[in-house]
Amino acid sequence: MHQDLTSHKVIITGITGGIARETARLLLSLGAEVIVSARSQDKLDAAINTLDGNVSGYVMDLTNADDVAAFFGKVGAFDHLVTPAATGMFAPVRDMDWDAARALLDSKQWGQMLCVHHGAKHIKETGSITLFSGTVTQKPLAGATMFAAAGAATEAAGRIWAFELAPVRVNTIAPGVIDTGVWAGIMGEEAAAGVKESIAQSLPVKRIGAPKDIAKSVAFLIDNSFVNGITLVVDGGHRLV
Q: Which residues bind ligand NAP (CB under 6 A)?
A: 14, 16-20, 39, 43, 61-63, 84-88, 107-108, 111, 132, 134, 175, 177-178, 180-182, 185
The alpha carbons of the chain give a radius of gyration, in whole angstroms, of 17
Nearer to ligand NAP, 138 or 228 (CB): 138
Identify the H or E element spanning 195.
helix 189-202
Chain-centre distance of CA 136, in angstroms?
A: 15
Q: What span, in angstroms and rounded, lies between the C-alpha atoms of 205 and 235?
A: 9
Nearer to ligand NAP, 23 or 228 (CB): 23
Nearer to ligand NAP, 58 or 229 (CB): 58
Least separation in angstroms between CB 187 and ligand NAP: 12
Least separation in angstroms between CB 62 and ligand NAP: 4
Least separation in angstroms between CB 126 and ligand NAP: 25
Nearer to ligand NAP, 123 or 174 (CB): 174
Question: 145 φ, ψ to 5°?
Answer: -50, -50
Least separation in angstroms between CB 58 and ligand NAP: 11
Q: What span, in angstroms and rounded, lies between the C-alpha atoms of 94 and 185?
A: 21
Least separation in angstroms between CB 156 and ligand NAP: 16
* 2-33 burial: b if 16+ Cβ within 10 Å, else e: ebebeebbbbbbbbbbbbbbbbbbbbbebebb
Q: Which residue is nearest to ligand NAP (CB)?
A: 17
Question: Shortest CA distance to 145 belongs to which of 209, 230, 88, 85?
Answer: 88
Least separation in angstroms between CB 28 and ligand NAP: 17
Q: What span, in angstroms and rounded, lies between the C-alpha atoms of 58 and 39?
A: 9
Q: Which residues pair with 178 in a beta bridge?
A: 209
Nearer to ligand NAP, 31 or 58 (CB): 58
Could you tell me which residues come within 8 angstroms of residue 142 by beta carbon, excluding any fewer than 6 positions away?
92
Identify the H or E element spanning 144.
none
Nearer to ligand NAP, 101 or 178 (CB): 178
Least separation in angstroms between CB 61 and ligand NAP: 4
Nearer to ligand NAP, 86 or 162 (CB): 86
